[in-house]
Chain A
Amino acid sequence: MDLFDMKMPDQLIVWGNPLINGAWISIILVTLGIVFVLTKYKKWRWLWDEWLTTVDHKKIGIMYIVSALLMLFRGGVDALLMRIQLALPNLEFLDAQHYNEIFTTHGTVMIIFMAMPFLIGLMNVAVPLQIGARDVAFPTLNAISFWLFFAGALLFNLSFVIGGSPDAGWTNYVPLAGEELTPGIGINYYLWGLQISGIGTLATGINFLVTILKMRAPGMTLMRMPMFTWSTLITSVIIVFAFPVLTVALALLTFDRLLGAHFFTIDGGGMPMMWANLFWIWGHPEVYIVILPAFGIFSEVISTFARKRLFGYSAMVVSIVAISALSFLVWVHHFFTMGNGPWINSVFSITTMAIAIPTGVKVFNWLFTMYKGRIEFTTPMLWSLAFIPNFIIGGVTGVMLASAPADYQYHNSYFLISHFHYVLIGGTVFGCLAGLYYWWPKMFGFKINERISKWAFWVFVIGFNMTFIPMYLVGLKGMPRRIYTYREGLGWTGLNFIETVGTFVMGAGFVLLVWAIIYSIRHAKRDYESDPWNGRTLEWAIASPPPHYNFARVPRITGQDPLWRAKKKGETIFEEKTPLKPIHMPNHTGIPAVMAGFWFVAGFGFVFEWIPVGLAGILGVLLCMMWRSLTDYHDHHEVPVTELRDAAAEEIKNAGGRSARGVVNDG
């Protein structure tokens, strides 16, 4: 191949389809609108100083969550378009190619660019606060993780207006996704978008692993950690083991497509089924990467609003660890029908079913956390409660799918589609929303309006069940996934129509949710309460929003649920007699955003197979790394004691215990 052959794809700027034209127009308008607002209100400086260069884990968390909500919108619009196309037989709303691109991007966006960043955002917001740390272990790396995710997401999302989207499904199975059967650049977008954001995720895993192991406050032993921190720790371990597999698989397929290698081709000694193995050796643990943190959130929320400590804490911990171990031992169940032989299928059936055991233990422990409690139906609690029945429906159908011979009948059908939407929406999305509502007042100092939010909740949950219960049935009637249309007379029409209506109801729920947030931003009373939910863990012991250094004094932990103990038993978390000391904090830095910009250039170049552009981007990345390593001795500052006094007083008021001269908050 000629290194400097900058060939143009057939259609660089995608134009012609009214939907995509509309997307172009809205992209241009929104961009102009943002530029206009930032310029008019002179906010460019603010944007750069406060957000783009920040290394503060809370702000990084907020940026993750905002991006994830945008991606939820994008993936949701994809879903609506698909459901319109399938509402009735033989519709021509989307053509086959467009439909194939949309289901591919829907899946990829929702898993990689919505679910994971949403949860990582919540981890960023809450975990350092829960363990009494002042930041994560590697704050700059944390910013790099975010910006790599952002660059990957941006690259991936550009595909539908520049050059064309990937169209081989989010699983991107070869040989279909190989150069021979799918030439063009769509699949390259998939490979590079995932590769760049995946490197960021791997760094996040390392970062939180080290943070939780090394940066806990004195007395915060492992078995005193809040359950969300525990689930983050285990998730980080899974990330560290699983993501390198994705990185390698993507790299090998990139070699195939870009350089003509034969790892996964049909001819030339390639092995297509190796892709399925590598993909799911990453992909199944990935499912637990997006569900375990949600489990952690539910544990926090249920315990808080049942006003009772988490039932069976140590069993909960053991369950998460067991699930994480099993998550690496079940990947073959994604292709029982690939001729693995009866022994292999039997073993993987049993390991898969075994996951039901620790998961069942967790469900019963959540139920018994509420037993003899005093359950308050706040919005975060509603999302957590809805999780239990909906997730159970997803869970039991998961056990059914685990039975290999039965799976021959469910595989690739809408039964499977419904199963994983029940666990991923009923588990992950409900968890994200519960976490968003729960920690929102900590992030911003006010609650999201409860009345509108409860409407949003009910509308969304009803729409969700309306969409996905019929999917189980239509799957059993033989409807396979990923077909862009179907004919009459198969008995699928009525069920599909209900699904489409349900999707719009869910969409209305999402609109209400956004409205609740906008309404609250404009009207909610800023009460800046430290502890608006009567919480149990450390994040509620400091101001809302917390100062950038989090804790003026390093807390001392005496047991599980430290704030609850401080409130109920008068135990001291913040010792007033301890003198305040200046705090060493990392400086803001532009390197992460600039470096991600170079990654974006590299990705864009390699997507179009413009090797010189790709290499220039990589060179930029390397220069950023060098720059960083030459300057990292000057990357911190000290927060003087005079700045700490207000925050310290707030801490003493909330959790100073009996020693704080009777300023005990009796709860």
Chain B
Amino acid sequence: MEPFLKGRWKWLTVVGMLMFFLTGCSSNIKAGVLNPQGPVAQKQYDLIMWSIILMSVILVVVFTLFVVILIKYRARPENEGYEPPDQEGNRLLEVVWTMIPVIIVIALAVPTVTTTFDLEKSPSPDKEPITIEAESAQWKWIFKYPVQGIETVNYVKIPANVPVRFQLESHDAMNSFWVPELGGQEYTMAKMPMYLWLEADKPGTYLGRGANFTGRDFAKMEFTVEAEKPSDFDDWVKQVKETAPAQSKEEFEKLLEPGTVGRMTFSSYPEDEKKDSSDHGHGHGSSKEHHESNSH
């Protein structure tokens, strides 16, 4: 047993060095989820950090107990004849370690519930939001601006500092609309529109992608979210309206065929693809009525 124990310490050192190496490797960890660039991502980031703090407490307590008990009560030649006591349990201790996780769960559950309800609402209720329809198809992202009447593919421009209500839908397989630096994801589902609020604090380009597997070229379903100053955004819309081609119904249907495409911009999209702009009210709730009325 003894030489083996020596071996164990050696290995522990190796593991320790590995961990060090790993943390060294991830010096630019501030990307993606841990680099929030808008109020939604910030709320989620705060919740994540709070949960990491709570969980660290558990890790420290359990790891310490684990190491101390293993070292102190390991079998050694000196304690050869030692007969461990016949303990049935300890009511007080058991109550204590039932209460510890209860407290931690409450400490996490409260902000979880409040944030869940917060994220249903516009992150900046005092500002006028814009709506963009984000639609997934195999294997591209289509963005329609119902008010502006324009359409982009595989990129989306948004005004910075303006809450954006993304209305999500899919033309085929279920995908998930995810822009880690602006906020968490929501599924896109066929005939079941849902919405997701996002907002960028400042102009910049943020990487988004489909997160839910949809088949062959799923890995290529990347898009960029390009936040610009509201005035620049308005100029861009005007420019698109003037210079970009219109999209015919045939072109739109061709776009929906399975395959990948590059970035595209259209000054309009086919009329019957425009949803009636009446709000479904409870986008997060998967409006069943809507679903049924649509399937006739």
Contacts and interface: CB of A to CB of B under 8 A. Distances in A.
Given A312-B89, A473-B29, A478-B180, A356 B69 contact: no
B147 interface: no
Interface string B32-74: 1110000001011001100110010011001101100110011
A486 B210 CA distance: 13
B124 interface: no
B243 interface: no
Contacts of A403: 47, 51, 108, 112, 115
Contacts of B51: 399-400, 403, 406
A266 B295 CA distance: 8
B204 interface: no
Interface string A372-386: 111111000000010
Interface of A: 96-97, 100, 167-169, 173, 175-176, 181-182, 266-269, 271-273, 306-309, 311-315, 335, 337-342, 345-346, 349-350, 353-354, 356-357, 359-361, 363-365, 367-368, 370-377, 385, 388-389, 392-393, 396-397, 399-400, 402-413, 454, 458, 462, 465-466, 469-470, 473, 476-478, 480-486, 490-491, 494-495, 498
Contacts of B174: 173, 175-176, 272
A433 to B, nearest CB: 18
Contacts, number: 312
Contact of A339 (B105, B284, B292): B284
Given A314-B89, A339-B187, A349-B116, A478 B283 contact: no
13 contacts: A176-B213, A307-B84, A335-B187, A338-B194, A360-B101, A377-B4, A409-B48, A409-B184, A411-B176, A412-B211, A462-B14, A469-B22, A480-B211
Given A309-B86, A337-B185, A478-B207, A405 B112 contact: yes
Contacts of B73: 306, 370-375
A238 B120 CA distance: 35
A345 B117 CA distance: 9
B115 A267 contact: no
Interface string B254-296: 0000000000000000000000000000111110000110010
Contact of A495 (B26, B119, B186): B26
Contacts of B187: 335, 337-339
A370 B109 contact: no
A485 to B, nearest CB: 5
A492 B198 CA distance: 25
B65 to A, nearest CB: 5
A346 B89 contact: no
A490 B180 CA distance: 13
A641 B147 CA distance: 91
A181 B173 contact: yes
B163 interface: no
Given A100-B216, A339-B194, A340-B284, A409 B44 contact: yes
Contact of A342 (B18, B33, B120): B120
Contacts of A308: 84-87
A75 to B, nearest CB: 19
Interface in B184-199: 184-187, 189-192, 194
Given A100-B216, A388-B62, A339 B192 contact: yes
B76 to A, nearest CB: 9
Contacts of A268: 295
A345 B116 contact: yes
Contact of A408 (B62, B74, B113, B184): B184
B69 A477 contact: no
A372 B32 contact: no
Contacts of A400: 48, 51-52, 55
A371 B94 CA distance: 14
B214 A176 contact: yes
A367 B207 CA distance: 45
Contacts of A309: 86-88
Interface of B: 1, 4-5, 7-8, 11, 14-15, 18-19, 22, 25-26, 28-29, 31-34, 41, 43-44, 47-48, 51-52, 55, 58-59, 62-63, 65-66, 69-70, 73-75, 79, 82-90, 93-94, 97-98, 100-102, 104-105, 108-109, 112-113, 115-120, 138, 172-174, 176, 178, 180, 183-187, 189-192, 194, 207, 209-219, 282-286, 291-292, 295
Contacts of B26: 470, 473, 494-495
A478 B89 contact: no
Contact of B191 (A266, A345, A372, A476): A266
A346 to B, nearest CB: 5
A408 B108 contact: no
A396 B116 CA distance: 20
Q: Which of A308, A373, A406 has the most CB atoms of chain B within a 10 A radius of its CB?
A: A406
Given A315-B89, A339-B192, A462-B14, A376 B75 contact: yes
B31 A478 contact: yes
A389 B63 contact: yes
A356 B101 contact: yes
Contact of A353 (B5, B97, B109, B119): B109
Contacts of B89: 311-315, 365
B201 to A, nearest CB: 17
Contacts of A311: 87-90
Closest 7 CB pairs of A and B: A408-B184, A478-B32, A483-B219, A312-B89, A360-B101, A396-B55, A339-B194
Given A173-B174, A370-B70, A313 B192 contact: no
A337 B84 contact: no
Contacts of A481: 213
Given A353-B105, A375-B73, A315 B184 contact: no
A483 B219 CA distance: 5
Nearest to B81: A374
Contact of B47 (A269, A338, A406, A462): A406
Contact of A273 (B70, B82, B115, B189): B189
B284 A342 contact: yes
Contacts of A371: 69, 73
A477 B28 CA distance: 9
A374 B219 CA distance: 52
Contact of A393 (B41, B59, B112, B178): B59
Contact of B219 (A363, A368, A484): A484
B94 A365 contact: yes
Nearest to B96: A364
A477 B101 contact: no
A477 B33 contact: yes
A502 B120 CA distance: 41
